Amino acid sequence: MRFVQDIPHARFRIGLYAWNGKYIVKIEAGPYEQTYKISEMDLTDPEAVPTLLDEPFLNRVEQRFLDMDTDWQATGDRNDAF
Protein backbone atom coordinates (compact mmCIF):
# COMPACT_ATOMS: atom_id res chain seq x y z
CA MET A 1 0.00 0.00 0.00
CA ARG A 2 1.43 3.37 -1.01
CA PHE A 3 0.80 6.45 1.12
CA VAL A 4 -0.54 9.37 -0.97
CA GLN A 5 -1.36 12.11 1.54
CA ASP A 6 -2.74 13.09 4.92
CA ILE A 7 -6.01 14.98 4.82
CA PRO A 8 -6.12 17.44 7.72
CA HIS A 9 -9.18 17.33 9.94
CA ALA A 10 -9.93 18.54 13.47
CA ARG A 11 -11.73 15.40 14.73
CA PHE A 12 -10.23 12.54 12.75
CA ARG A 13 -6.96 11.28 11.37
CA ILE A 14 -7.53 10.81 7.64
CA GLY A 15 -5.07 9.21 5.27
CA LEU A 16 -5.24 8.54 1.56
CA TYR A 17 -3.47 5.49 0.13
CA ALA A 18 -3.22 3.79 -3.24
CA TRP A 19 -3.24 0.02 -3.57
CA ASN A 20 -4.21 -2.56 -6.15
CA GLY A 21 -6.04 -0.18 -8.49
CA LYS A 22 -7.91 1.58 -5.68
CA TYR A 23 -7.62 4.68 -3.56
CA ILE A 24 -8.18 3.87 0.09
CA VAL A 25 -9.43 6.49 2.52
CA LYS A 26 -8.69 5.53 6.14
CA ILE A 27 -10.47 7.54 8.83
CA GLU A 28 -9.37 6.94 12.40
CA ALA A 29 -10.78 8.06 15.75
CA GLY A 30 -9.22 6.59 18.88
CA PRO A 31 -9.11 2.80 18.61
CA TYR A 32 -11.57 2.69 15.70
CA GLU A 33 -11.06 2.90 11.95
CA GLN A 34 -13.28 3.16 8.90
CA THR A 35 -11.98 2.40 5.43
CA TYR A 36 -13.46 3.41 2.09
CA LYS A 37 -12.17 2.03 -1.21
CA ILE A 38 -12.57 3.95 -4.45
CA SER A 39 -11.60 2.51 -7.83
CA GLU A 40 -8.85 4.50 -9.53
CA MET A 41 -11.04 4.39 -12.64
CA ASP A 42 -13.83 6.21 -10.76
CA LEU A 43 -11.51 8.92 -9.45
CA THR A 44 -8.82 10.14 -11.79
CA ASP A 45 -7.40 12.79 -9.45
CA PRO A 46 -6.64 11.91 -5.82
CA GLU A 47 -6.68 15.64 -5.04
CA ALA A 48 -10.49 15.44 -5.39
CA VAL A 49 -10.82 13.15 -2.36
CA PRO A 50 -10.94 15.93 0.27
CA THR A 51 -13.96 17.46 -1.47
CA LEU A 52 -15.79 14.14 -1.06
CA LEU A 53 -15.25 14.32 2.70
CA ASP A 54 -17.87 16.99 3.23
CA GLU A 55 -19.56 17.80 6.52
CA PRO A 56 -22.67 15.60 6.02
CA PHE A 57 -20.46 12.61 5.18
CA LEU A 58 -18.14 13.19 8.14
CA ASN A 59 -21.10 13.65 10.49
CA ARG A 60 -22.27 10.14 9.50
CA VAL A 61 -18.71 8.85 9.97
CA GLU A 62 -18.71 10.32 13.47
CA GLN A 63 -22.07 8.69 14.28
CA ARG A 64 -20.75 5.37 13.00
CA PHE A 65 -17.72 5.70 15.32
CA LEU A 66 -20.07 6.33 18.24
CA ASP A 67 -22.11 3.25 17.26
CA MET A 68 -18.91 1.19 17.01
CA ASP A 69 -17.92 2.26 20.51
CA THR A 70 -21.38 1.44 21.87
CA ASP A 71 -21.25 -2.01 20.29
CA TRP A 72 -17.73 -2.68 21.60
CA GLN A 73 -18.62 -1.61 25.14
CA ALA A 74 -21.79 -3.71 25.06
CA THR A 75 -19.96 -6.88 24.05
CA GLY A 76 -17.36 -6.21 26.73
CA ASP A 77 -20.11 -5.87 29.33
CA ARG A 78 -21.94 -9.01 28.16
CA ASN A 79 -18.77 -11.05 28.29
CA ASP A 80 -17.18 -9.49 31.39
CA ALA A 81 -14.14 -8.62 29.28
CA PHE A 82 -13.45 -5.11 30.57
- pLDDT tens readout for residues 27-67: 999 999 999 999 999 987 888 999 999 999 999 999 999 99
Total number of domains in the chain: 1
Please name which of 36, 37, 46, 43 lies closest in space to residue 4, comparing C-alpha atoms: 46
- pLDDT value at 11 more than 90: yes
pLDDT at 3: 97
Which range marks the domain in which residue 53 is found? 2-78
Over residues 19-25, the mean pLDDT reads: 96
| Alpha-carbon distances of 25 from 36, 52, 62, 79, 81, rounded to whole Å | 5, 11, 15, 33, 31
Which pLDDT belongs to residue 59? Answer: 98
Q: Which of 46, 45, 39, 41 is nearest to 5 (CA)?
A: 46
pTM: 0.91
